[in-house]
Amino acid sequence: MKKVVIGMSGGVDSSVAAYLLLKEGYEVIGLFMRNWDSLVNHDILGNPDLNQNICPQEQDYNDALVVCKKLNIPLHRIDFVKEYWDYVFTYFLDELKKGRTPNPDIMCNKYIKFDMFVQKAKELGADYIATGHYARVDHGRLLRAVDQNKDQTYFLSQVDGKQFQNVLFPLGNLTKQEVRKIAEQQQLITARKKDSTGICFIGERNFRNFLKNYLPNIPGDIVNIETKEVLGKHIGLMYYTIGQRRGLDLGGNETRLFVVGKDLEKNVLYVALGEDNSYLYSDQAYINEVNWISEKRPEKCTCKFRYRQKDNDVTLQYLENGDLLVSYPQQVKAVTPGQACVLYLGDECLGGGIIDKIYKDGEVIPYV
């Protein structure tokens, strides 16, 4: 009997994934990861859970324990608090300092779930590892999930392709609705549990207050990029992202103003009027930190610059240093440095990289 170690999060997805693996005849072992410690990490400001009798992470562990007892499988627990800080959260803060918009979930998958977790699973004798991700694997190829609305291949784009040789995604052919129905039928306590939201493994936070725990606010001017008029003050460039229109605290025309760029040296936040203003659009992106999951290297494919964004038709130029120049003649709105560019050929996720610079009409857009 093949042994599978599954990441148990205390949510409905991993609960049903564990049940399905048992049903398929695997020997299943649960492994719960503890990746964040609010006290150790000075997570005070913006934390809505400080005064609760039990923190959400402990409640998740208790829920995972109840599910594992019902399924009659063991549950192990491992602490990756230091590793998460070193490899995921430090990256997150460093990117914010550069004025970029990072995606910690992608780095969490790369360094924690599909690296350190895998090492621990092997210590437990695993033939395979499994998670509750909505994705599919076919002969080592990473494919989109059947439920396109829940597909999570975008967040798996930085994982070493070799890892998918021994990974099982039991939910890949199911919809979220079907998963909850199975949980109800099996009377799992997580059946109606709300999906986790917020920063990976940290949870819901008041983002502005949360960042004050780690990064100083450096206020500066908000400037209309067309008229050069100073419209007001921002509270720190790290709190804003390209395409954002809410939270500018300008009043009046705020609903029609969109963030279109940042100047770190001058500490200026640039905005422009109108949802379709030209400053929001680009036609090329320079991609570094490229990770290939597939061996395919097409000239043309599709990509997503944001999770749940529709596919964009793109042409790839392969650079000698391994980076990519991605061209999209149908200009795309709010392509944002720091975010991921994830490549697809049909349903197959080829891999992806991080958006470093964006261009329009052959010129680098000179704002982060």
The CATH code of the domain at 280-364 is 2.40.30.10
> What fold characterizes domain 3-185?
Rossmann fold (3.40.50)
Note the pLDDT tens digit of each residue in 87-98: 999 999 999 999
User: In the beta sheet, which residues pair with residue 354?
Assistant: 288, 340
> Residue 125: helix, strand or coil by DSSP?
coil
The 10 Å Cβ neighbour count of residue 148 is: 11
- Angle, helix 176-185 to helix 12-23, in steps of 10 degrees: 70
- Looking at domain 216-273, its CATH class is mainly beta
How far apart are alpha carbons 65 and 258 in whole angstroms?
Answer: 46
Residues 343-361: tens digit of each pLDDT: 999 999 999 999 999 999 8
Q: Is the pLDDT of residue 5 over 60?
A: yes
Q: Where do the structural domains in the chain lie, given as residue ranges?
A: 3-185, 216-273, 280-364
What is the per-residue pLDDT across 112-168, written as a single tens digit (0 to 9) for each? 999 999 999 999 999 999 999 999 999 989 999 999 999 999 999 999 999 999 999
pLDDT in tens, 27-47: 999 999 999 988 888 888 888
Given the residues 55, 68, 200, 341, select the one marked as catalytic: 200
108 is an active site residue: yes
Residue 253 has what pLDDT?
63
- The model's pLDDT over 65-77, given as tens digits with 9 standing for 90+, comes to 999 999 999 999 9
Per-residue tokens: 32: 């719960």
Of residues 55, 68, 108, 349, which has the active-site annotation?
108
pLDDT digits (tens, 9 = 90+) for 315-350: 999 999 999 999 998 999 999 999 999 999 999 999
C-alpha distances in angstroms, 277 versus 38, 271, 291? 41, 10, 33
pTM, 2 dp:
0.93
Whether 280-364 and 216-273 are alike in CATH topology: the answer is: no
Which is more confident, 252 or 343? 343
Strand partners, 137: 142
